[in-house]
Amino acid sequence: MNRICRLAIVLWVSWAGNVQAQEPLSLDELLNAFGWSFETAEIKSQKIGDGLFVLFGLGGNIIVSVGSDGTLLVDDQFPQLMPKIESALTELGSDGVDYVINTHWHFDHAEGNLNLGPAGVPLIAQINSRNMMAEPHVINLVGIRYLQEPYPPSAWPSITYDDTMQVHFNGERIDLLHFGPAHTTGDTAVIFRGHNVVHMGDVFNTSGYPFIDADNGGSIDGVIKFSSAIRDAINPQTQVIPGHGPVADYQTLVDYIDMLTVVRERIAGLIEQGISLDAIQAIKPT
């Protein structure tokens, strides 16, 4: 629990939105703040099943399904990285991207749409993510803010759904599930039923603090609800792919839900008592 119980500040921000306003950063400034470089970035792959891989680079994890029907991606990172991503795909036996599923609309998961959409690749997402891509939004990253500019229509998902959808590709059923606002208002969990693998996007994060985009409709209650619904839709043998961080398993997701629930209850109780943010932090509710 110690590894994932480090989120008092983030949970408070999710409820209270209590971060002082500051000018949004440009993409170059954001990259500098994260210590990211498109030039030096490496795309690494991990096999998680026959014809199924995870790509790690900058931004969100990508799932790749390669087979007789072609290549399907879950998330697509940045257009600046697309040559490196395409090179990695070639090594996995792909001869081009045929479909992309966006787990949500944030730039580090969906900005590759700017490259793939105009190239004619069909894009799939929950309807709220398409709507968010069409407008500018400031993303409060806790300490820094980033203005995500609207995408051109060619980069919007052309295939959308409300709550559930199924895709049949490379010999297996792929379930797309949405359970209301969580990390964002348009999150999708993608379950590869044949491989028993789920990609949860940023609803589930094993790389550091959980992040909830409260300024754009996300909520801690929603993350708990969404994560719990996915826990109930999979089984103890399922491989769980987080939005960021290494491949995880069912028990890690169970622990994550327990942590979110316990810390939420502790902080909610302190808020109800009228205790200040500084005092809550001093109590160390995690």
In DSSP terms, 249 is beta-bridged to 239
As a whole number of angstroms, the distance between CA 129 and CA 179 comes to 13
Nearest residue to 169 via CA among 133, 195, 138, 142: 195
The per-residue pLDDT for 3 is 41
Local confidence band at 118 (pLDDT 50, 70, 90 cut-offs): very high
- The reply to whether the predicted model has a pTM over 0.85 is yes
The per-residue pLDDT for 18 is 43
Burial of 112 (0-12, 13-18, 19+ CB in 10 A): buried
**Is pLDDT of 13 > 50?**
no
Token pair in block for residue 226: 């969404």
Which is more confidently placed, 19 or 50?
Answer: 50
Percent of the chain clearing pLDDT 90 (strictly above): 86
Local confidence band at 17 (pLDDT 50, 70, 90 cut-offs): very low
Lowest pLDDT segment from 54-63, 170-179, 187-196, 277-286: 277-286
As a whole number of angstroms, the distance between CA 226 and CA 180 comes to 7
As a whole number of angstroms, the distance between CA 187 and CA 220 comes to 14
As a whole number of angstroms, the distance between CA 28 and CA 146 comes to 11
Q: Are 73 and 86 in contact (CB under 8 A)?
A: no
**Is pLDDT of 37 > 80?**
yes
Q: What are the tens digits of pLDDT across the range 252-286?
A: 999 999 999 999 999 999 999 999 999 999 999 98
Q: What are the tens digits of pLDDT across the range 159-175?
A: 999 999 999 999 999 99
As a whole number of angstroms, the distance between CA 104 and CA 126 comes to 8
DSSP label at 142?
S
Q: Are 113 and 104 in contact (CB under 8 A)?
A: no
The per-residue pLDDT for 10 is 45
Q: Which residue has the tokens 């799939």?
A: 124
**Is pLDDT of 90 > 90?**
yes
